[in-house]
Structure 1
Amino acid sequence: MAVEPRFTSADISFADAIAVTQALLNDLEQGNVDAFGATVRELVRSENGARGFFVTYLSDDRPLADHPTPTLIAALQTSPAIVAPLLIKNLVMSTAMAMTHRRNQNEGLLQGSERVRSRTTQLIQALQLPQVQAEAQSLLGTIATKTGDYQAFLERWGYDLEQQQAMQQTLIALGFAQ
C-alpha cells in the first residue's frame, strides 16, 4: 500500500514546503521512511514544493542528506523539468556563496555552502538527467556570452566575474561543457 502525502503540490507554498521537508527529515531521522518517497515526489511536482524541499534538504545540518538513497533519486527523477534547473542553480549559488564567505572569512557559513555544493553534486551525479546537462550548458553559454536564459538569474543575485568563473569551473569539473 502506497503512503500518500497530506498535501498537494498544486497548493503548497514555499514556506509550507520547507515545513513539510523539515518534518520529513525528522521522520527519516527516527527511522520512519514510509512516506518519504511519496512526499518527495509530490513536493517536486511544483516549483514551490521543489524549492522548499531543496533549500531544506541540502542545507540540513544532519548527515541524512550526505548519502542520497535510491528512493530519493527515484522520486526526484519524476519531475526533471523542475528538478534540473533547481539543481544547477543550487550548485552554482553554493559555489558563489562559498567564495563570498571565504572572502569574508566566515568559516561557519563557508562550511554550509560547501555542504550544499557537495550534496547537490552528489544528486546531479546520481540522477543522470539529460535535462541537468542541458541546464548546465545553458548557464555556461550565458556566462560566456552575457546573454541567455540565465542572464536574469546572474544579474538578480549580482554575481561578479570571479564568482561566475568559479561557477564555470564547477560545471566543467562535473563534465558539463559548452
Structure 2
Amino acid sequence: MSETTLQIPSSVTFEEAIHLTQELLEQIPLKQLTEEQIYTLVKDLVNNLNGARGFFVVYLTDEYSLDPSVYRAVISALKTSPEILSQLLTKNLAMSTAMAITHTRNNDLQMAQQSKNVQQRTAQLIEDLQLPNLFEELKKLHQTIENQEGSYQSFLDKWKYDAEQRQAIHQIVSKTIEGNPNENFASSS
C-alpha cells in the first residue's frame, strides 16, 4: 500500500467533494488504500452537507464494485454523520424516483433507467445503514405525502412533484420503511 495523497479539506466544497470521491473510488480497486484510510476519507467527506452531497452524486450515480470489507468500511464511515445523511438520503430516494417518471415522460429511457438505478442504490444503502434517524426522516416524508402537509411539504412543492410522482415516492418510501426490522418504524398505511 502506498501512502494516499488524498486529503479532505474541513470546509470541502460540493465540487471538491465530487472530484475527491471520484479519486477515492478510482483508487479503491487498485488497492492503493487501506480500509482504515477509506473509512477516514469517507468519514471526512460526509461530515458536512457539501461533502456528503458530492460523495453521493458520485457514489450513487456510478457503478463501483466494492469488496465486502471495503463496503463495511464505507458503511461505518457513513454512520458517523447520521443527521446529515438522514435528510440527504431521504431526498435522494424521493428525487431519483420522481426523475425516473420525468425521464420516462420525456421518452429518455436511458436517463429513466439511470434514475431507477440511483433509486435502487439509495434504497439498498438505506437498508444497509439502518440508521434510526434515517427511518424517522422517511416516515416524515411518508406522512407528508399522506397528509398533504408536513415537514417535507416545501421540498415536494419546490420540485413541483405532481400526484403521480408523489404516489411513486410514497410507494418506494413505504417499501423502504417496511424493510426496517425495527417495528417502531413500520408503515402506518
2:57 aligned partner: 55
Secondary structure at 1:64 match in 2:
coil
Q: Distance in 1 between matches of 2:32 and 2:5?
A: 14
> Is the contact made by 1:4 and 1:39 (CA closer than 8 Å) also made in structure 2?
no
2:155 matches 1:145? no
The reply on whether 1:27 has 2:27 as its aligned counterpart is yes
Work out which of the two has the higher radius of gyration on C-alpha atoms and give 1 or 2.
2
Contact preservation (8 Å) 1:98, 1:114: yes
What is the alpha-carbon distance in structure 2 between the residues aligned to residue 65 and residue 77 of structure 1?
17
What 5-or-longer segments of structure 2 have no aligned partner?
Answer: 179-185
Tell me the equivalent position of 1:81: 83
Equivalent residue, structure 2, for 1:177? 187
Deviation at 1:147, TM superposition (A): 2.0
Q: Structure 1, unaligned stretches of length 5 or more?
A: none
1:45 corresponding residue in structure 2: 47
TM-score by length of 2: 0.85
Superimposed CA distance per residue, residues 27-56 of structure 1 (whole angstroms, 9 cap, x where no aligned partner): 123232323211110111000000110111
Offset of residue 66 of structure 1: 10
How do residues 86-125 of structure 1 correspond to structure 2 at under 5 angstroms?
86-125=88-127
CA 1:66 to 1:137, structure 2 compared with 1: closer, same or farther past 3 Å?
farther
With normalisation by structure 1, the TM-score equals 0.90
Give 1:4 shift: 9.2
Distance 1:26 1:63 in 2: 9
Aligned pair count reads: 175
Change (3 A) 1:152 1:143: same
> Which position in structure 2 is the counterpart of 1:6?
7
